[in-house]
Amino acid sequence: MTSMLNAPPKLLNPGPVTLTDTVRASLSQPDLCHREPEFTTVIEAVRAGLVAVDPAVAGCVPLVLAGSGTAAVEAMVQTFVPRQDSAEGFAVVVDNGVYGARMAAMLEASGKRARVVTSAWIDGIDLDAVAAVLPGATALLAVHHETTTGRLNDVDGLARLAAAHGVPLLLDAVSSFGAEALPRVPGLVAAYASTANKCLHGITGACFVLADEALFERPSGATSVYFDLHRYRSPSSSSASVGATPFTPAVHSLYALRTALDEYATAGGRSARHERYRRHSLQIRETFAALGFRPLLPLSSTSVCLQTFWLPDGVSYAEIHDRLKDRGFVIYAGQGPLAKRTVRIAVMGDLRDDDIDRLTTALQELA
Ligand SMILES: *Cc1c(COP(=O)(O)O)cnc(C)c1O
């Protein structure tokens, strides 16, 4: 037994991710009251770091919540899809995976009408079908990186349609923000939801929405108190501090996110993270291919963040999961109909080249 085997396993699931030592150490900073100026310094650094991640969000309002990625998506959907009693109409949802379907479920749960444009999980978005239903819609909801399969959806195409029809684009960018470029289309009004603990390498507990100012000009559509982003934009005037958040924030998660955003910027920002993920994902695809695992999607349709592979006949997910865990890696199962037939490998988190080399060796030893 080498000491490496006693180290905690590296996480190859799409969040929560393996932390750097620096981010982990950032958790043991002083306890803070969120109504004190010391907290303002932390939240302001996080907000500034978030809007610097991608040029598409440079002018956006950063809204930080306590919750998992789903909380950010739900807040975005709640707030920026008008209520049926304040506007006629419907929202359009693009669904080619678990997370697109989840946004449709959010609309249904809040009593908002939706037209859902569905594609099979292994297919791309049908832009013509979206274009056909978009006129008159109050919002277009889509997933940037559909983590169900690893597909990078054509958000540039969706953004062009949204801009052409004057419909806001609400994007679940939970598993792509920080590693894949957001669409930049003139005239587009958009909001993006994501979390601290996927491509940004923070810890669970903090999530955020980056929204164009123009979205706040319509009345809030929220049918909920906690998920109404108007409250996060204008915290109660009774709070003494400008940095205040309306509800108790995930203070330690924000310590970690501030540190993770510093590391992200120092390491070269989005292009550097994209390139590192791309290299690691390519190496993993080559290793799997040599072992007879076919990729679910062609390289040109996948994100750099996560790859899905068909399990060869006679190979069970549980078996390779357990054997890789013994060798220091936690992998991820497929979902729904793909659960028993595929394996997913994400490269988010503090994974170094030598970790991927060790993974390659561990996979070769399975053969
Ligand atoms: C992980 C993920 C979510 C949900 O995040 P939770 O943190 O599990 O709530 C939403 N959308 C996408 C695309 C994701 O990958």
pLDDT tens string 29-46: 999 999 889 999 999 999
Clarify whether residues 139 and 242 are in a common domain.
Answer: yes
Clarify whether residues 70 and 150 are in a common domain.
Answer: yes
For residue 219, whether the previous peptide bond is cis, meaning omega lies within 30 degrees of 0, is no
Tens-place pLDDT, residues 63-88: 999 999 999 999 999 999 999 766 67
366 alpha carbon to ligand 1 midpoint, in Å?
Answer: 30
The CATH number for 240's domain is 3.40.640.10
Q: What's the pLDDT at 245?
A: 86
Write out residues with Cβ below 6 Å of ligand 1: 14-15, 68-70, 73, 99, 143, 145, 147, 172, 174-175, 195
290 alpha carbon to ligand 1 midpoint, in Å?
Answer: 31
Clarify whether residues 106 and 223 are in a common domain.
Answer: yes
Confidence class for position 3, pLDDT limits 50, 70, 90: very low
Structure tokens at 72: 């950010």
Confidence class for position 241, pLDDT limits 50, 70, 90: very low
Residue owning tokens 């709640």:
78
Whether pLDDT at 243 is above 90: no
HSE value, Cβ hemisphere, 13 Å, CA-based, for 364: 10
In our burial notation (b when 16+ CB lie closer than 10 A, e otherwise), range 329-348 reads: bebbebbeebeeebbbbbbb
Confidence class for position 239, pLDDT limits 50, 70, 90: very low
Confidence class for position 1, pLDDT limits 50, 70, 90: very low
**Kindly report the CA angle at 219 between 51 and 141, in degrees rounded to 5?**
60
Q: What pTM does this model have?
A: 0.95
Whether pLDDT at 7 is above 90: no
Whether pLDDT at 291 is above 80: yes
Tens-place pLDDT, residues 158-198: 999 999 999 999 999 999 999 999 999 999 999 999 999 99
178 alpha carbon to ligand 1 midpoint, in Å?
Answer: 14
265, 299, 324 - which closes a domain: 265
Which residue's alpha carbon is nearest to atom 5 within ligand 1? 69
Clarify whether residues 110 and 158 are in a common domain.
Answer: yes
198 alpha carbon to ligand 1 midpoint, in Å?
Answer: 9
The CATH number for 12's domain is 3.90.1150.10
Clarify whether residues 261 and 297 are in a common domain.
Answer: no
Overall domain count for the chain:
2
Judge whether 33 and 162 are in contact, CB under 8 Å: no
Q: What's the pLDDT at 238?
A: 43
Clarify whether residues 248 and 197 are in a common domain.
Answer: yes
Tens-place pLDDT, residues 45-57: 999 999 999 999 9
Which residue's alpha carbon is nearest to atom 12 within ligand 1? 174
Judge whether 220 and 234 are in contact, CB under 8 Å: no
231, 265, 299 - which closes a domain: 265
Parent domain of 148 = 21-265
Which residue's alpha carbon is nearest to atom 6 within ligand 1? 69
* Torsion 276-184-139-131 (CA) sign: negative
What CA–CA distance (Å, rounded) separates 232 from 234? 6
Q: Which of 94, 147, 171 to mutate to test the pocket of ligand 1 (most atoms within 8 A of CB)?
A: 147
Mean pLDDT, the chain, rounded, equals 94
* Torsion 278-284-290-293 (CA) sign: negative
Confidence class for position 366, pLDDT limits 50, 70, 90: confident
